Chain A
Amino acid sequence: MANFYIDTPELRYHLNHPLMKRIVELKERDYTDKDKYDYAPVDFEDAMDSYDKVLEIVGEICGDIIGPNAEEVDHEGPSVIDGRVKYACGTAENLDATRKAGLMGMAMPRRYGGLNFPVVPYIMAADIVSRADAGFENLWGLQDCAETLYEFGSEEQRQKFLPRVCNGETMSMDLTEPDAGSDLQSVMLKATYSEADGCWLLNGVKRFITNGDSDIHLVLARSEEGTKDGRGLSMFVYDKNSGGVTVRRIENKMGIKGSPTCELVYKNAKAELCGDRKLGLIKYVMALMNGARLGICAQGVGLSQAAYNEALAYAKDRAQFGKAIINFPAVQEILSIMKAKLDASRALLYETARYVDVYKALEDVQRERKLTPEERTEMKKYSKLADAFTPIGKAMASEYANQNAYDSIQIHGGSGFMKDYTCERLYRDARITSIYEGTTQLQVIAAIRHVTTGTYLAQMKAYHEQPVKPELEYLKDKLARLTDCYENAINFVTEKKDTEYIDFHARRLVEMASTIIMSYLLLNDANNDDELFKKSFIVYLNYTESEVNKHYSFISGFNAEEAGYYKYVSSENEGLKTED
């Protein structure tokens, strides 16, 4: 009878952010759908009330069905029978519940059968689902692919596929191959146009494909024969009903075991080109990945919440030395820091989601009419912020999920090491979040240019302009000092005018930027709701201070000559496999 939305008041707080007014107004085109669809909102309050009530449904399903099924799904896992995936029983039940609740295609426009939800409430649902079962979030969250199909597919493709997604058919993005993981430019799956069939035929192998036996696949394939880089790749839509793709095997993974990770064999699989040739990787997959990264950010936050909840409940329940262990300072500090990291990464998640919302909604308006100069400026501003915040959101939320899962086991002591407690599954489930959809190291690479070009710094200064209550002023001053520290650190690194030197310190600089930004966000939250956020803000600010000082001290005192000691050198072809 638990409701994972209602029992976490922080969620409702984040849903009701002032920027939602603008987001909903754009997304709903001034509420014009109300005359066409009987479930469209009539005004802002009505729309917000709908998001809230639908999230209650999500919370209920997660509390009553998905959460309780998670352990069995983890043990049973999916299997492959005759080249097809069979989900674990609990997974099938979860899918049935989310379909019946109409939670597929949540962000799609109503004309395709969707709910037309902005990113914020959709990603909040992802946050809640991940807390219940991070593995299931992968299947449910792949409805993200519909967004890419909507943005780049033809109207005919939209009408053909999107209503199916909204009715509950699942999707997958078939990108990686045995020799193309982080480096997608090396994708080899071959796409050839067949005049006889009047369509494209796909041949080759894909590996590590989440939910690879889905109903509708987006496939990255090499359409330009003889090319070797990203410019020879296009995106295709493959419909499972056409046949030609079988599942050769599924991986035996450490975590998120309910989510089938497939190796797929394509044999003359008929597919449609999505968008323009040659833009597959450089444009469409990049857009797809940005959406997916926000999804992983939500997955990390949901996992952090689950890890914290388990730790807190155990600490209250477990008695040692004659009292509950929550009374011991060492345990209290771990719990406080877990909660602070959870609240910090969640604040960053929804800030990023709002940025994505504004620019995506404007981009969509642009498909219907020319934007005014003010709107164009607004779109550019938020697009840039979304681009800057998505990688740090993904990196920090996934790293914190791992840290919180580790700490959750620590609170459980020896029992946490046993299979009997949920924290053990969370630890395994969290591990992949800092790897897939771009490792933390790749997120740092995406983020570093916003360090050097000043996007983060400008945003810190913008946050600083917001007034706070007098009692929080001294903490805001502290943040200003940390911001100066960060600025100095950037100068130390960039004045060498050596990109390799910037790469060497990139992680530290990005972490400094991320923690300061999250502190500013929590400052604002604590200013709005003292009871809900002040504790986390203070704890997190102290944590930020120690992190920033640590990195500052390393960077400012670093002897550049010693950088060489961190290097490993390989001869030109060493480490590269040769294939005959």
Chain B
Amino acid sequence: MSLKIIVLAKQVPDTRNVGKDAMKADGTVNRAALPAIFNPEDLNALELALQIKEENPGATIELLTMGPPRAADIIREGLFRGADGGYLLTDRAFAGADTLATSYALSCAIKKIGDYDIIISGRQAIDGDTAQVGPQVAEKLGIPQITYAEEIVELKDKSITIKRRIEKGVEIVKSELPVLLTANATAKECRPRNAKLLQKFKHARTVSEQVDLDEDYTNLYSNRPGLNLNEWSTKDVDANLEECGLSGSPTKVKKIENIVFQAKENKKLGASDAEIEDLIVELITNHTIG
């Protein structure tokens, strides 16, 4: 079965290792202080795609990412792990997008790529934590969606069966293709980068990146066409400028508050069963646990 898979991935600041200078004085994220990484659940999405590819020879994986020029790293990281190609959506007009404008831009690009069977994104990104982009893309494309995907149970005859992780259990659901899946963090971790693929694709660059390259390597791009990464602007994906970036984003940030966690109450507990039981009852009553 020749399947075309598109993986949606985002480059995010590594919010898991936040230092003191993570936020600027105006309350926005200080991106310079946080390393840019492949959004963790998007890696789970990539792994699901790679598993499908392994079991269905002939299947192809394209990565799609939107972001500044340096987000081309995401495509390279995908290529190092076994993706076949990728597209970087980058344009000043895309900047400042909320989830609505982002899903619009991505859906335009996906339509441009065309003929897809499965789209997989991570459940949510660790910088915004909205979990909205995947579902909105499915809606804009008018295709079914399965969120919180954990495992592919079966894929045959143009339909897919997925185990999805929901609160307090799992659910097995089936959908026709094309479909959009969002991968949950409980799905299998992504495989490591492959040594051969890394050596093959480490020179892969977008056209704008090639401008700054050392002259020694420029002829590589005509000799090895696979090293040219696709870079798309609003024009390339026929996007309506009004619906892109800031102008396409109804979400307005009203205020950002810096919250500093402080220890408020201190309680000392004895080792007796009664004292422990009292504490448990108290925690259940005030809904801290349970």
Contact = CB atoms under 8 A, between A and B. Distances in A.
Contacts of B224: 38
A537 B175 CA distance: 66
Interface stretch (A98-106, A146-154, A344-352): A98-106
A97 B191 CA distance: 7
A54 B199 contact: yes
Interface residues of B, number: 16
Given A61-B192, A97-B191, A102 B197 contact: yes
Contact of A100 (B191, B202, B220): B191
Output the residue of B195, B196, B217, B220 with the most chain A CB within 10 A. B195
Interface stretch (A42-50, A297-305, A326-334, A504-512): A42-50
Interface in A3-56: 38-43, 49-50, 53-54
A401 interface: no
B199 A39 contact: yes
A50 B196 CA distance: 9
Contacts of B195: 54, 57, 101-103, 106, 115
B193 interface: yes
A140 to B, nearest CB: 13
A60 interface: yes
27 contacts: A38-B200, A38-B226, A39-B200, A40-B199, A42-B216, A42-B220, A43-B216, A49-B202, A50-B199, A53-B198, A53-B199, A53-B202, A54-B198, A57-B192, A57-B193, A57-B194, A57-B195, A60-B193, A97-B191, A100-B192, A101-B191, A101-B193, A101-B194, A102-B196, A102-B197, A115-B195, A115-B196
B223 to A, nearest CB: 8
Given A38-B226, A53-B202, A97 B192 contact: yes
Contacts of B192: 57, 60-61, 65, 97, 100-101
Interface in A74-105: 97, 100-103
Interface string B191-222: 11111111110100000000000001100100
A503 B216 CA distance: 57
Contact of B199 (A41, A43, A60): A41
Ranked nearest first, the 4 interchain pairs of A and B with the lowest CB-CB distance are A39-B199, A102-B195, A39-B200, A101-B192
A58 B190 CA distance: 15
Nearest to B82: A100
A106 B216 CA distance: 27
A493 to B, nearest CB: 49
Output the residue of A38, A50, A60, A103 with the most chain B CB within 10 A. A38
A502 to B, nearest CB: 47
Contacts of A50: 198-199, 202
Nearest to A106: B195
Interface residues of A, number: 21
A100 B202 CA distance: 17
Output the residue of A49, A60, A102 with the most chain B CB within 10 A. A102
Contacts of A41: 199
A279 B153 CA distance: 54
Contacts of B220: 42
A61 B195 CA distance: 12
Given A53-B202, A57-B195, A101-B195, 10 more contacts: A42-B216, A49-B202, A50-B202, A53-B198, A54-B198, A60-B193, A97-B191, A100-B191, A102-B194, A102-B195
A165 B169 CA distance: 42
A54 B198 CA distance: 8
B182 to A, nearest CB: 24
Contacts of A106: 195
B170 to A, nearest CB: 22
A53 B220 CA distance: 19
A58 to B, nearest CB: 9
Contacts of B216: 42-43
Contacts of B226: 38
A42 B252 CA distance: 50
A157 to B, nearest CB: 23
Nearest to B217: A42
Contacts of B197: 39, 102
Contacts of A49: 202
Contacts of B194: 57, 100-102
A350 to B, nearest CB: 20
Contacts of B191: 97, 100-101
Contacts of A101: 191-195
A152 to B, nearest CB: 26
Nearest to A166: B196
Interface string A95-121: 001001111001000000001000000
A146 to B, nearest CB: 16
Contact of B198 (A57, A61, A97): A57
Interface string B171-196: 00000000000000000000111111
Output the residue of B192, B193, B200, B226 with the most chain A CB within 10 A. B192
A425 to B, nearest CB: 24
Contacts of A57: 192-195, 198
A463 to B, nearest CB: 34
Nearest to B191: A100
Interface string B96-111: 0000000000000000
Contacts of A54: 195, 198-199
Contacts of A97: 191-192
Nearest to B219: A42
B78 to A, nearest CB: 14
Contacts of A40: 199
Nearest to B226: A38
Output the residue of A42, A61, A115 with the most chain B CB within 10 A. A42
Interface in B41-58: none
Contacts of A102: 194-197
A38 B203 CA distance: 11
A542 B181 CA distance: 64
Nearest to B80: A57
Contacts of B196: 39, 102, 115
Contacts of A103: 195
Contacts of B198: 50, 53-54, 57
A102 to B, nearest CB: 4
A139 to B, nearest CB: 17
Nearest to B224: A38
Nearest to A47: B199
Contacts of B200: 38-39
B222 to A, nearest CB: 13
B215 to A, nearest CB: 12
B73 to A, nearest CB: 13
Interface in B38-92: none
Nearest to A57: B193
A61 B193 CA distance: 9
Nearest to A101: B192
Contacts of A65: 192
Interface in B237-277: none
Nearest to B50: A100
B183 to A, nearest CB: 18
A100 B195 CA distance: 9
Contacts of A60: 192-193
A59 to B, nearest CB: 11
A54 B199 CA distance: 8
